[in-house]
């Protein structure tokens, strides 16, 4: 047992020797354990949340949601602009794009937005907490919880070892998707008077599917060419894109293609008139 622990510690130390020294002293970046702990606690809280709420009345969080969604719009827009300005509109290639580990202003700028994107994944865990506090338990689906729960720790490794290059293509797209998503949530939280501006709800899932399809193609093409980018991250990003394409496609099928019972159609009709019952 002692030898196994010693071997694990040795493997961990060897792995950390490959980390980017530029990010070593940044907040939450010294070790992965705080990120692991927060993700585990997220799953525990979501599991226990409905029981903790019990017979309590749902919290009224309209003002909190408005402020939160507005801040997330700004944060998502910032990340999208920074990913574009520090890389994807500043000479990055859609083919092989290695990480620039130098201390040039552009390379450091890219590393910083990668870190900010990583931090944003922790903030987004509040989405699910708000669902629980408002007793919108159906909104905390497997797709939602799984997606939110693995992103923070996944991105810790991204920032620690590859803060830039090829892997930031999907974060560029994701930042734009989240900008649109939180804009939708903000308008929905304003009340029934704004429902006429939410006609594009269905297309949000279509954009998500397009995102994951694009990332899958982007990852796959790199498997057929030489590129100075860690192959493990290529496989991880590609697998992530495929898994979530399948999950979002299943959601789209159930929500927009699969015929609904007549009673559910009537209920949904009332929901539209009363202001998107299932929306934030």
Whether the per-residue pLDDT at 152 is higher than 90: the answer is yes
In whole angstroms, what is the distance from residue 223 CA to residue 190 CA? 46
Contact 109, 75 (CB under 8 A): no
Q: Which band of pLDDT confidence, cut at 50, 70 and 90, is reported for residue 65? A: very high
Q: Which band of pLDDT confidence, cut at 50, 70 and 90, is reported for residue 271? A: very low
Burial tier of 198 (Cβ tally within 10 Å: 0-12, 13-18, 19+): middle
Contact 101, 22 (CB under 8 A): yes
pLDDT of residue 18: 85
In whole angstroms, what is the distance from residue 117 CA to residue 64 CA? 22
Closest to 242 in 3D by CA, of 262, 259, 217: 217
Give the number of other Cβ atoms within 10 Å of residue 134's Cβ.
17
Average pLDDT, integer, range 172-185: 95
147 is annotated as an active-site residue = yes
pLDDT of residue 189: 86
Whether the per-residue pLDDT at 269 is higher than 50: the answer is no
Higher pLDDT, 134 or 271: 134
CA angle 175, 181, 187 (to 5 degrees): 135
Give the number of other Cβ atoms within 10 Å of residue 61's Cβ.
16
pLDDT tens digits, 67-115: 999 999 999 999 999 999 999 999 999 999 999 999 999 999 999 999 9
Give, as one character, the DSSP assignment of residue 42.
H
DSSP reduced 3-state for 55? coil
pTM of the shown model: 0.87
- Domain boundaries of the chain, sorted by first residue: 19-274
Whether the per-residue pLDDT at 265 is higher than 70: the answer is no
Q: Which of 147, 170, 178, 218 is catalytic?
A: 147
Burial tier of 187 (Cβ tally within 10 Å: 0-12, 13-18, 19+): middle
């Amino acid at each position: 047992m002692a030898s196994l622990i010693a071997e694990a510690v040795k493997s961990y130390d060897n792995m950390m020797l490959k980390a980017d020294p530029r990010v070593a002293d940044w907040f939450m970046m010294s070790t992965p354990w705080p990120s692991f702990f927060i993700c585990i606690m997220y799953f525990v809280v979501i599991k226990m949340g409905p029981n903790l709420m019990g017979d309590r009345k749902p919290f009224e969080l309209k003002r909190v949601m408005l402020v939160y969604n507005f801040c997330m719009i700004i944060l998502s827009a910032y990340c999208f602009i920074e990913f574009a300005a520090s890389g994807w509109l500043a000479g990055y290639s859609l083919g092989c794009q290695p990480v620039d580990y130098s201390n040039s202003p552009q390379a450091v700028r890219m590393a910083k937005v990668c870190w900010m994107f990583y931090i944003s994944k922790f903030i987004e865990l509040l989405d699910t907490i708000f669902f629980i506090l408002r007793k919108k338990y159906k909104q905390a689906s497997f797709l939602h919880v799984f997606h939110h729960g693995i992103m923070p720790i996944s991105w810790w490794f991204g920032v620690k070892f590859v803060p830039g290059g090829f892997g930031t293509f999907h974060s560029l797209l994701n930042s734009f998707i989240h900008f649109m998503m939180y804009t939708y949530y903000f308008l929905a939280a304003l009340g029934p008077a704004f429902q006429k501006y939410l006609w594009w709800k269905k297309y949000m899932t279509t954009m998500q599917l397009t995102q994951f399809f694009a990332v899958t193609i982007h990852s796959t093409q790199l498997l057929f060419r030489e590129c100075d980018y860690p192959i493990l991250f290529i496989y991880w990003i590609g697998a992530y894109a495929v898994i979530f394409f399948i999950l979002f496609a299943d959601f789209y099928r159930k929500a927009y293609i699969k015929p609904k019972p007549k009673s559910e159609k009537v209920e949904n009709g009332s929901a539209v008139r009363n202001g998107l019952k299932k929306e934030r």
